[in-house]
Amino acid sequence: MLTDQLFDTFGRRHDYLRISLTDACNLRCVYCMPNEKMLVTPSAALMQADEIENIASVFAALGVKKIRLTGGEPLLRRDTEEIMLRLSKLPVELTISTNAVLADKYIETFKKANIRSVNVSLDTLNPEEFSAITKRGDFEKILDNIYLLLSQDFKVKVNMVVMKGINEHAIFDFINWTKDFPLDVRFIEFMPFAGNAWLPEKVFSYAEMLNLIGSNYEFLKLEDSLNDTSKKYKIKGYAGTFGFITTITEPFCGTCNRLRLTADGKMKNCLLSSAETDLLSALRSGKDIKPLILSCLKSKKLERGGRFDFDSNISSSAAENRSMIKIGG
Ligand code: SAM
Ligand code: SF4
């Protein structure tokens, strides 16, 4: 029996779980992968396919209605197909975030697992800039795979992390791309995590993005749904839309419905909080994880993990959190 039990102390209902499958990746995005050599978690310490299904089914029974697979790069795991097929049996909408380098290999699995919406990271449409940002050369493959997904009627959202002085000029290329293709592009304010050399002056803010876009285009505001993290817009007559994820300058904590599970089985009640609850160890020692999930949720803070006095000490607070690649964005 499904019940809605996932309320925090501020009355927010949580029905969306993001599960990281791995902290390994085939790209090295500068804003995500720490500079220093990162040790990938050994596979025995990761949740196994049956454990992921087990934990996810407890969340579903408590009221989770949507699960997003993420990472690291979720398509790198050898048992990703098994995991997707197991989770597809739960009464949830299943989605995935990927860099799309391997998406062509998984198109049929996506269909079998009823995954109809795919989020793809891409921060520039210029191959040289792509190599500088990701330290890898898979640009053409990613582009081909985005077109492949579109041609097979997947809903494709493209996530671009905007970093001042690095790629803000590419915003125009992404908007032009929405003219003929039904893509939802989301411009994400650069967020601080351990090892990503974040500085406030590297954030290209929502206001700056709107200004820049307004200098070239007339755009329309679209209606956002209650739990949307993105503020959505479009250019009249264009096939696609664009939006902004404004975690830094206009956080959307008031309507947050998200919970996270790291690849090593730790629950996080907020992306920006360093607090973790070890569900995997509890599961492995035969304990009921339901009370742990509920008490983790009850400790959720009102805003941004309760950690940031955003204008002063943000970088040092971020350093106490995991790197993004180890959380799962
Ligand atoms: N590898 C997959 C991908 O790149 O889509 C899934 C994992 S990735 C960590 C998930 C999302 O986090 C991506 O959209 C990425 O752009 C975003 N992300 C990573 N580091 C970020 C940062 N410092 N600020 C904002 N978004 C970030
Ligand atoms: Fe890998 Fe995604 Fe992080 Fe880029 S953003 S390093 S693709 S996990």
**Is any ligand 2 atom within 6 A of the Cβ of residue 34?**
no
DSSP annotation of 163? B
- d(C-alpha 214, C-alpha 224), whole Å: 20
What value does the mean pLDDT take over residues 308-329?
A: 63
Residue to mutate, 19, 25, 28, 32, ligand 1, most ligand atoms under 8 Å from C-beta: 32
Which amino acid, residue 167? N
Residue 90: name the closest of 131, 126, 58, 127 by CA.
58
Instruction: Check if 71 has its Cβ closer than 6 Å to any atom of ligand 2.
Output: yes
Task: Kindly state the tokens that stand for 78.
Answer: 């050898």
What share of the chain has pLDDT > 90, as a percent?
Answer: 81
The pLDDT value recorded for residue 12 is 95
- For residue 285, how far is its CA from the centre of ligand 1 (angstroms)? 32
In three-state secondary structure terms, 280 is helix
Write the pLDDT tens digit of every residue in 229-281: 899 999 999 999 999 999 999 988 889 999 999 999 999 999 888 889 999 99
The span from the CA of 83 to the CA of 327, in Å, is 19
pLDDT of residue 316: 52
Whether the CB of 29 sits within 6 Å of ligand 2:
yes
For residue 231, what is the enclosing H or E element?
strand 230-235
Backbone angles phi, psi at 117, to 5 degrees: -130, 130
Q: CB of 290 within 8 A of CB of 282?
A: no
pLDDT above 60 for 310: no
Does residue 188 have its Cβ closer than 6 Å to ligand 2?
Answer: no
Mean pLDDT over 157-182 rounds to 97
**pLDDT above 60 for 131:** yes
Per DSSP, helices labelled H in 38-179 are: 49-62, 80-87, 103-112, 127-134, 139-151, 170-177
Calculate mean pLDDT across residues 191-204: 91
Higher-pLDDT residue of 193 and 234 is: 234
How far apart are the CA of 32 and the centre of ligand 1, in A? 6
The ligand whose atoms approach the alpha carbon of 70 most closely is 1
CA distances (Å), origin 183, targets 154, 179, 238, 276 = 10, 9, 10, 35
Residue 242: closest CA among 210, 196, 290, 271: 210
Residue 221 bridge partners (DSSP): 233
Instruction: Give the C-alpha separation, 323 to 326, whole Å.
Output: 5
* Cα 88 from Cα 94, distance rounded (Å): 7
Report phi then psi at 64, rounded to 5: -70, 130
Flag whether the pTM goes above 0.85. yes
Q: How far is the CA of 286 from the centre of ligand 1 (A)?
A: 33
121 lines ligand 2 (CB under 6 A): yes
Q: What pLDDT digit, counting tens, does each position of 139-156 carry?
A: 999 999 999 999 999 999
Q: What is the CATH architecture of 16-327?
A: Alpha-Beta Barrel (3.20)
Residues with CB under 6 A from ligand 1: 25, 31-32, 70-71, 73, 97-99, 121, 159, 161, 188, 190-191, 193, 196, 324-325, 329
Instruction: Pick the residue whose CA is nearest to atom 11 on ligand 1.
Output: 329
CA of 313 to the centre of ligand 2 (A): 25
Query: Quick check: 317 pLDDT over 60?
Result: no
